[in-house]
Every structure is written in structure tokens, then in C-alpha cells.
Chains A and B, each alone.
Chain A
Amino acid sequence: DAMVIQNPRYQVTQFGKPVTLSCSQTLNHNVMYWYQQKSSQAPKLLFHYYDKDFNNEADTPDNFQSRRPNTSFCFLDIRSPGLGDAAMYLCATSRTGTNQETQYFGPGTRLLVL
């Protein structure tokens, strides 16, 4: 089945230690998104790639970076995680075109910062 895959499902890191989360998709969608979701809150968009074009949200901290080496893969790098970065990180994909803006989410990576 076509899907969005995130690894790892759980990640524990230390305060200030860089961490990378990965996302892959078999849907062949051209848009990929990274969201941050904290407990009992709505998902908050960090940035997205429209094909190879990177689009950063104005309020996304510089601590968060992203890479998309090809259509299928996208990475979220947190350069110096703080305690406030502990959250669920969600990857999503969509395909542009008329009535094709539905976003499909992966299972998420739960990040714990010690």
C-alpha cells in the first residue's frame, strides 16, 4: 500500500544534541510537509517542500532545518534541541492539482529531550 513512513517512531535525545528525523513516501507526491504537534494542540506547520522549493514558516525557529534529497525522502534536522522541542513531529504529503490538496500524514515521531 502506498504510504508515508516515519523513522524512528520514538526518539530520545539530550539537550543540545543534534537529531535527525526521517520521512519517506511511496505516494509519489510532489509536496512534503513537516508539522510539530504538542500535547492537546493542533499540528503546527514548520515548513514544506513544493517539489525542490523550500518554504519556511515565518515563526519556525532557526534551530529547525530540513532537507529533501529526492522526491521520496525528507529529513527534519534539529540542530540544538531544547526541552521545549519535545513534541510529536508529523510528516505529510500532498499532490498539487485541481482538488488534489488533501494531505496524508505519517504515523509521527515522538521526540523526547532529556
Chain B
Amino acid sequence: EDQVTQSPEALRLQEGESSSLNCSYTVSGLRGLFWYRQDPGKGPEFLFTLYSAGEEKEKERLKATLTKKESFLHITAPKPEDSATYLCAVPAGGGNKLTFGTGTQLKVEL
């Protein structure tokens, strides 16, 4: 069965304190790994898609990497506006369904 596990569940950082979020996955035949940001009361906002081990993508202070077993979302010198829940997901089975992790709730304080 396809599974996605995210850690930590919650993370509190000081502004400028870099860190990484983890997404471990078990899936047969990876067809992509997706990172989303979700603010309270809003829909998930697409960040990155990674397709193959070794691939990296960056956007502002965020960098996503992928290995054969896990993905990391690195946050460099975070700001309070980076506070959100970060979700990762993989396509499940042979169809369009996404299996989501339960997310990492990030809070960046001044």
C-alpha cells in the first residue's frame, strides 16, 4: 500500500534559522512527488513537483530534493511569512488519486 509519512509534525523556528522537513514515501513506481503549502482556511498552494532521484527545485527560500525513499524541503533563512503547513503527496496506484502526508506545521517567529 502506498504510504507517505512526514516529519516532524510541527516545527518552530526563529527567523533566519534554517531547517529541513522530511517526507518519506513507499510507492511502487513513483510518478512524481508533490509539495504544497497550505495556510489556515485556504486550499493547498502548489510549490514543486519532483520526478526522479537526484532532482532538485528551488523557489525563493525553499529547496526541494528527492531520493529513492524520501524528499526534503529545505528552508533557508526563513521569515514569519513562511509559517504554514507543508504537505507532500504522491500519486497512488495507477490512477490520479494523491496520497497525502499529514503535513508539517511550521511556525517562524521573530
Residues of A within 8 A of B (CB): 4, 6, 31, 33, 40-43, 45, 48, 50, 55, 57, 88, 90, 92, 94, 96, 99, 101-108, 110
Contact = CB atoms under 8 A, between A and B. Distances in A.
Given A33-B96, A106-B43, A42 B31 contact: no
A3 to B, nearest CB: 11
Interface in B33-57: 34, 36, 41-46, 49, 51
B95 interface: yes
A94 B96 contact: yes
Interface stretch (B14-22, B59-67, B97-105): B97-105
Interface residues of B, number: 22
Contacts of A102: 32, 34, 46, 49
B87 interface: yes
A101 B98 CA distance: 10
A105 B44 CA distance: 6
Contacts of A55: 95-96
- Return the 8 tightest CB-CB contacts between A and B, nearest first: A42-B100, A105-B43, A108-B43, A105-B44, A107-B43, A102-B49, A90-B43, A42-B102
A96 B31 CA distance: 12
Contacts of B43: 4, 6, 88, 90, 92, 105-108
A43 B44 contact: yes
A87 B3 CA distance: 23
Contacts of A99: 32, 49, 51
A107 B42 contact: yes
A50 B96 CA distance: 9
A90 B96 contact: no
Nearest to B92: A45
Pick the most buried of B43, B91, B96: most chain A CB atoms within 10 A of its CB: B43
Contacts of A103: 34, 46, 98
Interface string B74-110: 0000000000000100010001111011110000000
A40 B100 CA distance: 12
A45 B34 contact: no
